[in-house]
Structure 1
Amino acid sequence: MTVASLTTDVTLSEPAARRIRAIGAAEGRPVMLRVAVEGGGCSGFQYQFDLVERAEDDDLIVERDGARALVDVVSLALLKGSEIDFVEELVGAQFRVRNPNAKSSCGCGVSFSI
């Protein structure tokens, strides 16, 4: 049984789905956003975002409006209940994770602590 069939505790916002679809259209191929948590950053953990063409067997697949994001089984415990979002601000545009498990995060929103 894959993680995708076990849980859907991570969601994808409409702006994130729209951005993933736009990237795929610009590249002329379907892409998925891989979201992972790694040790490091100024707060202890940091989010890693990558564009990939294929899911791994144990990935959670999060879908919205034809867009897909992937979360590996190791990162899932730290991302439970999170929303993957895309924000556009004066300082730039980026994917961001709204993580209810994070006790604190850095100013850029890429690193967090539990």
Structure 2
Amino acid sequence: MAEASRQVQMTESAATRIQELINSEGNNGLMLRLQVSGGGCSGFQYEFSLDDNSNNEDHVFENHGAKMVVDDVSLDLLGGAEIDFVRELVGAAFRVNNPNASSSCGCGSSFSV
């Protein structure tokens, strides 16, 4: 079992949305891929995509029946984070509650450490 600082969790709302996306694609082998890349207004940005592959440097997490894959480098910046899916008046989106982020931009899609 991996230590808690190397885990990424997802809420039931996020898992439900992932399953909705997978069902719309018609490929039950898909997972949500979450990765961190350089850029954004705060230094790093979150990237979400659907993927049906994982490699040796990936970590697969499963919560509430949905799978998420995170590469090892991104996991260094995401360890202990929780992924949520929120619906608000301005729209709906995945939100990352990242304990490693010292600050984030107003839109929540980029952060700094």
TM-score, with length taken from structure 2: 0.90
How many residue pairs get aligned? The number is 110
Choose from 15, 18, 25 the match for 1:17: 15
Matched residue, 1:58: 57
Task: Name the structure 2 match of 1:27.
Answer: 25
State the identity %.
55
- Distance, in Å, in 2 between the alignment partners of 1:57 and 1:20 is 23
Query: How far apart are the structure 1 equivalents of 2:18 and 2:54?
Result: 15
Partner in structure 1 of residue 40 of structure 2: 41
Structure 2 unmatched ranges of 5 or more: none
Q: With structure 1 as the length reference, what TM-score do the two structures score?
A: 0.90
Q: After TM superposition, which residue ranges in structure 1, 4 or more long, deviate above 3 angstroms?
A: 5-8
Which one-letter code corresponds to 1:76 in the other structure? L
Q: Equivalents in 2 of 1:70, 1:100: separation in Å?
A: 19
Partner of 2:56: helix, strand, or coil?
coil
Mean Cα deviation higher: 8-17 or 77-86: 8-17
* Aligned residue identity for 2:7: D
Cα RMSD for the two superposed structures: 1.3
